Each structure stands twice: as C-alpha cells, then as structure tokens.
Chains A and B, each alone.
Chain A
Amino acid sequence: MKRAFRPHSILPGFGLTMGFTVFYLSLIVLIPLGATFLKTFSAGWGHFWETVTGARALASYRLSIGASLVAAAINSVLGLLAAWVLVRYEFPGKRIVDALVDLPFALPTAVAGITLTAMFAGNGWVGSWLEPLGIKVAFTWLGVVIALTFIGLPFVVRTVQPVLQELDPEFEEAAATLGAGRWQSLKRVVFPELLPALSTGFALAFARAVGEYGSVIFISGNMPMKTEITPLLIVTKLSQYDYAGATALAVATLMMSFVLLFLINLLQWWSRTRYA
C-alpha cells in the first residue's frame, strides 16, 4: 500500500526503533565488513592483485562460477517444471512434496554434504548405479554441481510458484479461442509472464551457490586446481595463517556478490513492475 509522503507520523517510536536498527546493523554487519575492505587495502594493491589473479585462485573461480551456472541452469529447467506440476496438476502426496521443497533451505549444509557424498560415492545408493556407466560424481566437479543443485533447488520453485498461482487462466483460454495451440500459448502467453520470476530464481540460486561451502567440501574432494572452490581456498589460506591472502580473496568474492545483489534487485524491480 502506497502512502503519501508524511514526515510526521502520529505513531511513536521512530527514534527508538530507527536508532536501534542502525546501531545493530552497524555493529554486526557494516563495521566488520568495512574493516575487511580496509584490511585489504592496507596490505597494498600489488599484493591484492597478485593473490586474486594467482593460478590457483583463477582455477577456483572457474569451478565455483562454472558449477554454479550449471546448477542454476538445471534448477531453472527442473524447478520451472516442478513449480508447474505443483500448481497445475493434482497427484497423491502433493502437499508433502510441496513442503519438502524447503528442505535445502532448512537442512544444515554439513548434513547435506556428507549425505550427498554417501549417496553419490562409488558404493552409494545412486553412485553404484552411475559407476558402471562410467560416470563418477563424488570427488569430481560433477559432485560440486550436484551439491550446488541441491542447495539451489528451492529458489526457482519458490519464486515461480506464486506467480503461476496468480496467473489467470483466462489469458490461456483467450489464446486457445484465438486458435493458438497449447504449446504456442504456453510459449507466447505463459512463459513471458514467468520470465522475470524465473530469472530472479536463477540469479538467487546462482548467488547462493557461488558462496556455498558446507555442502560442497565433502563431495568435491578438494584437489587444488581441480576441485577446489573459492570459499575453500579462503579457508585453506586462513588455516595457513595467510590472513592477507584470505582477505584479498574474500574481498574479490564480496565484490562479485554485491554486483549479483544489485542485479537481483534489478530483476525483482522488473518482476514488480511487470506484475503490478
């Protein structure tokens, strides 16, 4: 609900709540993040640049970004299908399946990590099916994709689902009466309506995957240059007391996250103007 600009509300508590909000936000989030940036720049540009463009760092970005893109793409296709099925079709156990979609949000990442590893290892429930086909998942980059697909799963489903629920079937009926085939009206009428939400879901899943740590480190095998994600490289540097190196990589990752955040805000603004 939009209200006109009102500098003086008759409700009390602005000073108290605003004051506490800014204080707590600064204390917990802004000052620690700001200190991290300051720390990097106090160590000098040369060192920063050297660290973030090192061969091992570059290999880790390639894996983190590449696997996140693949996982977000898988989630876009299957997540869109799942949202469609959950909104439009009826089948037994639908409500339970719907509730379970939130599992990756709520399951601790370490639990997801060791469980997926157990499932996809050569002797695991799924791995033992894939092994004879020559597909190795655990301890390869495919394992990273699997873990990132798992943690990104709810994003696309949960952003597309409400839009699909609100979508009036009248448009599809109109398209049908005008002679459009079912496929044509899905492509021309339904899909464009879902596109902003789908893009937002993709971006959210991707952003989450790029920074993910707990669910990946167990299944990836963590070989430098091959299956080492960027967050793990940060932890490795920290455990070697290379604070400057860890901070430089953290700042590079943070900057990328902020760009993504900006993009997501743009996409959400697009969705809002579209559906408003």
Chain B
Amino acid sequence: MATDIANSGTVQGQPVAIGEPRWIRITSITVTLLFLGIFLFLPLIVVFTEAFKKGAEVYFESIREPDALSAIQLTLIAAGMAVPLNLIFGIAAAWAIAKFEFPGKSFLITLIDLPFSVSPVISGLVYVLLFGLQGWLGPWLAEHDIKIIFAVPGIVLATIFVTFPFVARELIPLMQSQSSEEEEAARVLGAGGWQIFWRVTLPNIKWGLLYGVILCNARAMGEFGAVSVVSGHIRGMTNTLPLHAEILYNEYNSAAAFAVASLLTILTLVTIALKAAVDWKSQVEAREVRAIREQGLAEA
C-alpha cells in the first residue's frame, strides 16, 4: 500500500486529483510523528528509564515494600467496587433509555454525563462537604464513629463518581442504534425479562460493554485528583497507587516514584491493547454479520 502511493500517484486507490504532492505528504507525516512521538512515545520510555535508573534491585524493592503493597491493595479495592456498580448502573440506564420512550430523555443523558465535566478536585470536594467534619452529615457520622472522609469509603465514593458515566455512555448510543425488534420477538415467543437480556441483548452489546468496562477500570485505578482530596494521604492506610507515587516524588525519591508509575503505565498499555483488540474484534464480527445478512438476502 505504502509503495502504491509513493509511486503510482494514487491515494488509497483514489486518483491523484484528490491526493497531495509527495513533499506535502511526507512533511505532514513527519510533523505528525514528531508531535505524537514527543507527547506519546517519549513519555513511555522516560517512565521506564527513570524507574530503572538506580537498578533493578531498587525497582523491585520499591514495588514490594509494605506501603506500596497496601497502595496496590487499596487501588484494587476501589476499582473492584466502582467498576461493578457502574456496570450495573450502565446496563440499567441504557435499558431504560434505549428501550422506552419518555419525556426528558436527553436531559437524563446529559445528567449521566455530568461527572465528566466536573473537575476531579471538585468530585472529591463534594463528598468532603457531605461527609467531612464540616459537612452536612459530618457531626452525625462522628457521633456514630463512622469514618468516610480520610478513609476507604471516601476513596471508593470518589472513584465511583469520576468513573460514573463510562459504561453508560458506551451502551446508551449502542443500544439506541440497535432496534428492539429482536427483543420484542423474544417477548412474543414468551421469554421473560432476564431471559431476553441474557440471550438476546447481551450478545448484541457485549463488545460495547467490554469497552466501557476496560476504560472505566483504567480510570478507576488511575484517578488522582478526586481521590487525593478525600484520602488525607495516610501512608499504608489511605494511599492508592497514584497517591503513593506522588508522595515518593515529593520526597525526592524519584526512582521509587517512577517504579510505582511504571506499574500504572503497564496497566495503561494493557488497557490500550485490549481496547484496540475489542475494536478489531467487533469490526470483524460486524462484517461477518453483514456478510451473512447479504447472503441471506441474495438467496431470498
């Protein structure tokens, strides 16, 4: 393909009339690669070189010490709570919005998207104002000896808030674009609600669902601003991985900070790879479905 364009004067099979001269193509590609190289590729290299600056021993020591392990544990707890809850919410919201007509629907969709337009810092602050000592419920909580802010529940809540729309916003447009005919047919044939969902709807939305879960999980494990406000930064108690990296960095322990950051970077790379795989898989499947339909039409 690449040689095609360079030699024969076509762009992706299109005649040269809509292609650009060679020097413009080469300049555009070079500028793009330089920009993306500096902003996307170089940071990945920097994370790992900084992490291994003091050798592999320091690296593995930094991610095996007790504070790091407890940060890993808390990060897993927060994501382990936030992802399933937001998944259930996303499915429920998409079902209600895509399968039924009711007034105020687009307003509801806007409200669901709201956490995306709120600064992470404010996402944490709202819970401090609700559950903190100065907050609405603070005195009552203190009386009953329940700690939410500067404790694990606050971190979980802040994580749920920032990852709230991820699954819903993947599923809503996807389910809206699919007609309900298959579900209605199943209903007429006597299937119950759960049966319809598991047998008919779920197979149709599985890639979108997976996509949303992958992105939701990445954000849940990596959230910094919101969690930072509610955590109180108690070492070994209320530090997630990103907060632990920040503390190490501010203590001028750069190698350890980047070692922790490298774990999060690996998570990011896995996320991107999975996302690309899901993209590819769902495209292949869509093509197969289309081929089968066309074949069916041709035979009919």
Contact = CB atoms under 8 A, between A and B. Distances in A.
Contact of B121 (A1, A112, A211): A211
- Secondary structure call for the A interface: helix
B96 A115 contact: no
B39 interface: yes
A103 to B, nearest CB: 5
Interface of B: 1-2, 4-5, 11-12, 14-15, 17-21, 25, 28-29, 31-33, 35-36, 38-44, 46-47, 50, 85, 88-89, 91-93, 95-97, 99-102, 108, 110-115, 117-122, 125-130, 132, 134-136, 157, 160-161, 164, 176-180, 183-184, 187-188, 192-193, 196-197, 215, 218-219, 221-225, 228-229, 241-243, 245-246, 249, 254, 257-258, 261, 264-265, 268, 271-273, 275-276
Interface in A1-49: 1, 3, 5-7, 9-14, 16-18, 20-21, 24-25, 28-33, 35-36, 39
Q: Which 8 A-B pairs have the closest CB atoms?
A: A211-B119, A108-B222, A214-B224, A176-B17, A213-B225, A32-B126, A12-B193, A172-B18
Contacts of B245: 110-111, 114
Interface residues of A, number: 96
Contacts of A153: 39-40
A241 B136 CA distance: 16
B124 to A, nearest CB: 9
A118 B268 contact: no
Contacts of B164: 28-29
A229 B108 CA distance: 31
B235 to A, nearest CB: 16
A107 interface: yes
Given A21-B92, A261-B117, A35 B129 contact: yes
A115 B261 contact: yes
Contacts, number: 302
20 contacts: A11-B196, A17-B92, A21-B96, A21-B108, A24-B85, A28-B157, A35-B135, A78-B31, A82-B35, A103-B44, A105-B215, A111-B242, A114-B246, A114-B258, A173-B17, A176-B18, A185-B18, A207-B117, A253-B119, A258-B117
A260 B197 CA distance: 36
A30 B180 CA distance: 30
A118 B94 CA distance: 43
A36 B126 contact: yes
A167 to B, nearest CB: 11
A116 to B, nearest CB: 7
B36 A213 contact: no
A97 interface: yes
A97 B36 contact: yes
A169 B35 contact: no
Contact of B188 (A10, A25, A108, A210): A10
A31 B25 CA distance: 53
Contact of A29 (B18, B111, B184, B273): B111
Contacts of B101: 3, 5-7, 9
B92 A234 contact: no
A103 B272 contact: yes
Contact of B118 (A173, A176, A211, A218): A211
A214 B161 contact: no
A101 B134 contact: no
Given A10-B184, A29-B164, A257-B118, A35 B136 contact: yes
Contacts of B44: 103
A104 B40 CA distance: 8
A135 interface: no
Nearest to A103: B40
Given A13-B193, A173-B15, A82 B40 contact: no
Nearest to A180: B17
B8 to A, nearest CB: 13
Given A107-B268, A114-B257, A90 B192 contact: no
Nearest to B114: A29
A100 B36 CA distance: 9
A115 B114 CA distance: 29
A214 B120 contact: yes
B224 A109 contact: yes
A108 B32 contact: no
A104 to B, nearest CB: 8
Contact of A231 (B1, B36, B50, B120): B120
A276 B32 CA distance: 30
